[in-house]
Structure 1
Amino acid sequence: MKKILIIDDDEQILSLLVRSVEVAGFAAFAAVNGREGQRLLDKQPFELVITDLIMPEKEGMETISYIRKHFPETKIIAISGGGRIGPETYLPAALELGADLAFAKPFSIDDLIVAIRKLLDIQ
């Protein structure tokens, strides 16, 4: 079973994403910020990471850079509702840092699952 790490400081979004990924047939692991996500990454491999960009205690941009440096084969989906300046600024930067895909919140769970399957080459 493919393992997916989901990192988001919004507990409702984190819970929704974990449940949705599990229903789609993946093993989901949750972290409430980039620091916690990094600890999980260092303990076990993940095929894919979904990370919010604006979080306390290690933002998504730092997390993406860390993953690209230490786990280059791991696929990354960046998600963001933006901060003070909106997701249209953060998401392109996340792609430049190495995210494979980026979604602006709110997004369709169905679209996210399709993207996960495509990135993991699952039909």
Structure 2
Amino acid sequence: MTCILVIDDDIQTRTWMRRVLEAAGYAVTEASNGHMALQRLETAPSDLLILDIFMPEKDGLELLRRLRSQHSTARVIAISGGGDLEDTSYLAVAARLGAHQILEKPFDSATLLRSVTQQLTNR
């Protein structure tokens, strides 16, 4: 079964994505920050990470740098609503750091599933 790790500090967003993905037949785990995500990845590798950029403790860009320095083969979809500054240029930075796809919040379930399918087909 395909495993997806959803990493977002907003519990409502995480829960919504988990429900959409599980309904589509994916196994989903969650993490609320980059530190927790790294712990989850040590015990259970994931095929795809959906990674929020703005989070406490270890943000998405830090986590992405760490994943790429460890030569992780997991596909990554970076997501962001721009944070306090409403600046989505962080998504462009995520793409340069190795995110395979970027999504600007808010997005709907069809967009999420289309992006996940694309990334899992391209691995």
Q: TM-score, normalised by structure 2?
A: 0.93
Q: Give the drift of 1:8.
A: 0.4
Task: Report the counterpart of residue 34 of structure 1 in structure 2.
Answer: 34
Q: Tell whether the 8 Å contact from 1:33 to 1:56 is kept in structure 2 after alignment.
A: yes
Task: Report the counterpart of residue 110 of structure 2 in structure 1.
Answer: 110
Gap change, CA 1:108 and 1:32, over 3 Å in 2: same
Q: Tell whether the 8 Å contact from 1:87 to 1:104 is kept in structure 2 after alignment.
A: no
Q: Give the drift of 1:49.
A: 0.2
Confirm or deny that 1:63 pairs with 2:39: no
Task: Report the counterpart of residue 97 of structure 1 in structure 2.
Answer: 97
CA distance, structure 1, for counterparts of residue 68 and residue 23 of structure 2: 28
Task: Report the counterpart of residue 78 of structure 2 in structure 1.
Answer: 78
Confirm or deny that 1:2 pairs with 2:5: no
Aligned length: 122
Q: Give the drift of 1:85.
A: 2.6
Gap change, CA 1:87 and 1:29, over 3 Å in 2: farther
Task: Report the counterpart of residue 51 of structure 1 in structure 2.
Answer: 51
CA distance, structure 2, for counterparts of residue 7 and residue 71 of structure 1: 19
Q: Give the drift of 1:87.
A: 4.1
Equivalent position SS for 1:51:
strand
Amino acid of the structure 2 residue aligned with 1:40: R
CA distance, structure 2, for counterparts of residue 17 and residue 48 of structure 1: 13
Where does structure 2 lack aligned partners over 5 or more consecutive residues?
A: none
Where does structure 1 lack aligned partners over 5 or more consecutive residues?
A: none
Aligned identity (percent) is: 38
